Amino acid sequence: MSAFHFDNLMPELILDALASVGLYLDSGLTALNSYENRVYQFRLEDGQRCVAKFYRPERWSLSQLQEEHALAYHLAAQEVAVAVPLQWQGSSLHQYGGYVFAVWPSLGGRHVEPDNLDQLEAVGHQLGLWHASVTDYTLPTRGHFSHALWVLKPIEVLMAQPRWPASMQTAFAHLLAELAHALKGPLSQPWPQLALHGDCHLGNILWREGPLLVDLDDCRMGPAMQDLWMLLAGDESEQRLQLDALLSGYEEFTAFDHRQLALIEPLRTARMISHLGWLSLRWGDPAFPAAFPWFATENFWVEQYRVLGEQRERLKAPPISLTSYR
């Protein structure tokens, strides 16, 4: 169980870390909402606004972080609209006081509207260009989205220290075992593997006269559908329209294997399980109980049991189909 937290990452250490690469501030530090890492916004003496990310030490190795940055630079060179880290003293990754950190320009923008089909088509355009740009690109040290990573490992974490009421222990364990079994088939298929964003939801896309993809912290190898399904919301008819818009832009650059539509609900279910495991694993970091107090309540777990039970039934249903001309 992870017990690491950022209790020694004080303003003095952050300022010293930035100064170690020649960055001096003309403002205070504004902490942004980030829990896995710690992220701060500030203005430099030359007026440039920047964001510094201090990575959680025990999650990624230095070589894995270098792969994340190299992927961003590769995509930008292919004209994918993606946020890239700044380089100082010849490097985008820096170490100070036991932390690895990086600096990006502070990029304003607004969120993509999930019901704006023109915006979704533009997002699909960028994702299609991204995926077309990485057909021969690999992330050898960052691993793959897999049944073991997204289902078995978080279930192991949850079972090691159950957060649900004792009265639900047997039922919850049985439900998780059922879901693990149901997900093994679809998530273990030999889908073509691409270097993905990995956490491509609307919160990681800024609209700046077009979409800009940010935060590659979860980039891994995996099937194309992983970068698309989190952009779908609403009932099935709404999701069909959204998917049509996304793929209309996507397929300007690369074909989409429509068999991967069968991955939407398995990937959704796996993310639900993975998210619960992540919260449980990080509960020793004081930032997590403060930000997610409901995680320790009985009502939350009763609701999770209901939602995961519904997902079990959705996994048995036929996959979504596209609307018209596909």
Catalytic residue among 7, 16, 199, 285: 199
Instruction: Give the whole-angstrom CA distance, residue 279 versus residue 204.
Output: 20
Instruction: Give the whole-angstrom CA distance, residue 52 versus residue 40.
Output: 5
Active site residue 136: no
Instruction: Give the whole-angstrom CA distance, residue 38 versus residue 4.
Output: 13
Catalytic residue among 115, 118, 215, 218: 215
Instruction: Give the whole-angstrom CA distance, residue 237 versus residue 196.
Output: 27
Q: Running DSSP on this structure, what letter comes out for residue 123? A: H
For the chain, give the number of residues. 326
Contacts of 178-182 with C-beta under 8 Å, sequence gap 24+, read 178/312, 179/151, 179/269, 179/273, 179/308, 179/311, 179/312, 179/315, 180/147, 180/151, 180/152, 180/155, 182/266, 182/269, 182/312, 182/315
Active site residue 215: yes
Instruction: Give the whole-angstrom CA distance, residue 61 versus residue 181.
Output: 31
**84-122 b/e (C-beta count within 10 Å ≥ 16 → b):** bbeebeeebbbebeebbbbbbeeeeeeebebeeeebbbb
Instruction: Give the whole-angstrom CA distance, residue 256 versus residue 261.
Output: 10
CA dihedral sign of residues 80, 83, 86, 90: negative
Q: Running DSSP on this structure, what letter comes out for residue 193? A: P
Instruction: Give the whole-angstrom CA distance, residue 247 versus residue 256.
Output: 8
Residues identified as active-site: 199, 215
